[in-house]
Copies of this chain bind each other. A is one copy, B any other.
Amino acid sequence: MDIVKGVLDRSRLAAAKGITAVENEYPEATGIMQALYPHTGRAYILGITGPPGAGKSTLTDKLAKEYRKRGKTVGIIAVDPTSPYSGGAILGDRIRMMDIAMDEGVFIRSMATRGSLGGLSQKTADAVKVLDAFGCDIIIIETVGVGQSEVDIVKTADTTMVVLVPGLGDDIQAIKAGILEIGDLFTINKADREGVEKLHIEIEMMLELSGNKTGWKPPINRTIASESEGVLSVMDSIEAHAKYLKESDELKTRRAESIKTELLAMIAERIRRHINKTVAETRDFENTILRLQQREIDPYSIADDILDKIIKQ
């Protein structure tokens, strides 16, 4: 089938095949993406991240439902960067159990690590573009957010929501600090749990410490997503942020930044492949490693030597 034509004709099967092509790095993937690219840039992209167990999937489910009520079509990409073995099966199961999975106006897809994580971030960005060209009004990227790779994944979103939950212990503090930077809105889920006030104050304090360089002050909402409590307030905050981005022209700046990051990552990935082919898989390189291991040479000088051989100056 012609995947590009299918996607533009709103065929679910074509969209699924397009994402599969991207995910598995089929040879036709680049051609598909090149053809779809002119048809992208219309969807609004929402990133949802937060530590394991914060209830991100449930909240995503409820938000998607609310968007459907408002007549919007929704794409959901659930990214699981931590599970090379399970191939995202666990996340996939959870996704399939979502209430909205049977809705024709909702397209759900899970993506997991196959190979490098840099690759996963690129593949997620491409999957978003497929769903954008396919015609989804809203695309939600949901990812477990605790490391840099997850941050990279949600960076492509227009609005990023960080979901936290009271009482996850001390180490979580560090995580919060790490993802604060990317949060346009914060949601304290499971807000009937003990520690909600403490967490709220902590987020406020950290936001103050980090300083506000834009005209947007990240709101902190509270939800009990499993009971749909507070979901409408979250929706309001998302809409308010979208409005702010458009009116302040920041949407354009952000998207330019995101394209730039993506392009640089693509170049880096291509170079990585080039190095693997021309340097890492040669007999000469094996010999270099042996000499390094015997401390006859040092890696810092060798890295410079190899660079000189690869790069046009």
Give A residues with C-beta under 8 Å from B.
30, 33-34, 37-38, 40-41, 51-53, 80-86, 90-91, 94, 113, 116-117, 144, 146-150, 168-175, 177-181, 206, 209-210, 252, 255-256, 259-260, 262-264, 266-268, 270-272, 274-276, 279-280, 285, 288-290, 292-293, 295, 298-304, 306-307, 309-312
A300's contact among B34, B271, B293, B307, by CB below 8 Å, is which? Answer: B34
A271's contact among B117, B144, B310, by CB below 8 Å, is which? Answer: B310
- Give the chain B neighbours of A144 by CB distance below 8 A: 146, 171, 174-175
Residue of B nearest to A262 (CB): B299
**Given A81-B178, A90-B177, A263-B302, 11 other A-B contacts at CB below 8 A?**
A30-B300, A38-B298, A52-B146, A80-B174, A82-B178, A82-B179, A146-B146, A256-B290, A271-B271, A271-B310, A274-B311
**Complex CA distance for A311 and B271, rounded to whole angstroms:** 8
Is the beta-carbon distance between B252 and A169 smaller than 8 angstroms?
Answer: no
- Give the chain B neighbours of A299 by CB distance below 8 A: 37, 259, 262-263, 266
Residue of A303, A306, A312 with most partner-chain B CB within 10 A: A303
- Give the chain B neighbours of A310 by CB distance below 8 A: 267, 271, 311-312
> Taking A263-B303, A293-B256, A306-B267 as contacts, is the C-beta distance between A298 and B37 under 8 angstroms?
yes
A-B contact pairs, 10 of them (CB 8 A): A34-B298, A41-B293, A53-B169, A53-B170, A94-B170, A147-B149, A260-B280, A264-B280, A266-B299, A310-B311
Instruction: Tell me the number of copies of this protein.
Output: 2
**Complex CA distance for A113 and B161, rounded to whole angstroms:** 22
Residue of A82, A85, A307 with most partner-chain B CB within 10 A: A82
A171's contact among B53, B178, B268, B309, by CB below 8 Å, is which? Answer: B53
> Taking A171-B53, A264-B280 as contacts, is the C-beta distance between A293 and B82 under 8 angstroms?
no
> Taking A146-B146, A174-B83, A252-B293 as contacts, is the C-beta distance between A270 and B303 under 8 angstroms?
yes
Q: Is the contact region of chain A dominated by helix, strand, or loop, or is it mixed?
A: helix
Is the beta-carbon distance between B181 and A293 smaller than 8 angstroms?
Answer: no
A95 CB to closest chain B CB, in angstroms?
Answer: 12
A40 CB to closest chain B CB, in angstroms?
Answer: 7
Is the beta-carbon distance between B52 and A85 smaller than 8 angstroms?
Answer: no
Residue of A83, A263, A306 with most partner-chain B CB within 10 A: A263
Residue of B nearest to A255 (CB): B293
Residue of A41, A177, A266 with most partner-chain B CB within 10 A: A177
- Give the chain B neighbours of A252 by CB distance below 8 A: 293
Is the beta-carbon distance between B33 and A300 smaller than 8 angstroms?
Answer: yes
- Give the chain B neighbours of A290 by CB distance below 8 A: 256
Residue of B nearest to A305 (CB): B267
Residue of B nearest to A257 (CB): B289
Residue of B nearest to A179 (CB): B82
